[in-house]
Amino acid sequence: MSSNSTADNLCAPDDTLCIVREHEQGVIIVPTMLLVATLATLLGLCLMRYCPERKRTPTTAPQRYHSSSHRRTQRHSHRHHLQGIDAPPGINPLEHEELPMSVQQVQRNVKPTLAAVPQTSTERHHGAFGQITALPLSFSIKQSDTVSLYRARMDNRNVVLRVLKETANSSEKQHFLGFASYVSGLGPHPFLPVLLGVVSVQSPLMMVVEELQHRDLLGFLWRCRQDISSLESSCDMTEKRIFTMARQVASALEYLHSQRCIHGDIGARSVLVGGDLTAKLWGLGSAYRRSRQADLVEDVEMRKWQAPEVLSRGAISQSSDVWSFGILLYEMVTLGDPPFAQLMATELLQYLQRGNHLKRPANCSNSLYSIIGSCCHWRPQQRLSVPGLIRKLEAGEKSANGRTVLRAPEPLNIERYLREAGYGEAFNYAVL
């Protein structure tokens, strides 16, 4: 006998409540459970479809970076999931997108070229590096054992890749990323090189910095010493150009001091020169090392640029940077001569203690030499402040000679320069 017949037999025909109770499981409970299961299934499908993807398993590609506009819009929503160093505000971090790189075989007498393999996905082509080549070093002075420099194209502009070698240990990797974070934290300034991004998720780790066409100021000054008939007129150094470039460097120095950063390594080697002869202050490695270790002992090779209080192992200060800035002016007006060439580095402190000072170059005007003397005063408190230095440079720029091209009495001899500047064989000339 069926359940319907049983219900009819147990309940009177007009007893609706009895009939509903007898059929409750079949017409209420089971359909309700089916409805709930259906809704749960639909909810799960919606979550899988519209929620952000979980982090995918890394591929064999060595590095990743953001490039597409879709990823840019999601950047702030999942920043806490990123690893490594974020790029400065408003700049795309070069992370989390694939960029395989390999060294190509090249012909003899040609330096190895680092080639970027393009991605097949249209989502990732915007930020790819192209035309990557090893960056040659000036005068074959040794490069860092842990960092290699490459010139590349990114977003239709020239950039320099500061690449940590794959053989670097964990301490060197930590130092590299710490330096990248330190530079990023300083923020942008028109006379500091632009940090375009940091590849930090997978090796090789790298910093991406704008390329300045003429590279370091010291090499630029040395090229200006050569026969100018074979060079472009942009290499002509005049007193007015010295004031202009020095004012730009001083502006960057004032900004660094406002960020509680004492540079500690100012010199022509740590200034970069753009194609329009804009000067930008770089060489921040010493400042970063000092931020990690307050009692850092500076390299012997820097001693001829250091203030007397630093030579005597006293405290370094903003006034110490002003002293070094005076030495930079001397380098510029002499087209790259070393300071205190007649002395050994170990003799310099005693020489200064006796009241001696930098000798005036033959082609240095009274106004420029006066600024050099005001920067290189024995007592730190009597040196120019950086704002005062900028005012003097601005005033000198207005009246400086912009027609007479500076000349050097003799061509460059690199071995002699290294000896007179007090550099050892292990000196690393690569400042990027």
Q: Closest Cα to residue 207, out of 233, 184, 226?
A: 184
Instruction: Mark residue 363 as left, alpha or beta (left: phi above 0; alpha: psi -120 to 50; beta: remaining).
Output: alpha
Pair type for strands 206-210 and 195-199: antiparallel
Tokens describing residue 109: 């007498």
- Convert 349-402 into a string of H (helix), E (strand) and C (coil): HHHHHCCCCCCCCCCCCHHHHHHHHHHCCCCHHHCCCHHHHHHHHHHHHHHCCC
Distance of CA 156 to the CA centre of its chain: 19
Please give the Cα distance from 352 to 358 (Å, whole number): 9
Burial grade of 367 (CB within 10 A; 0-12, 13-18, 19 or more): middle
Q: How far apart are CA 113 and CA 131, in angstroms?
A: 8
Per-residue CA distances from 163 to 63, 134, 183, 227, 267 (Å):
12, 11, 15, 35, 24
421 by Cβ neighbours in 10 Å (0-12 / 13-18 / 19+) ranks as: buried
Token duo for residue 299: 């390299």
Q: Is 265 a catalytic residue?
A: yes
Tell me which of 8, 14, 15, 265 is the catalytic residue: 265
List the catalytic residues: 265
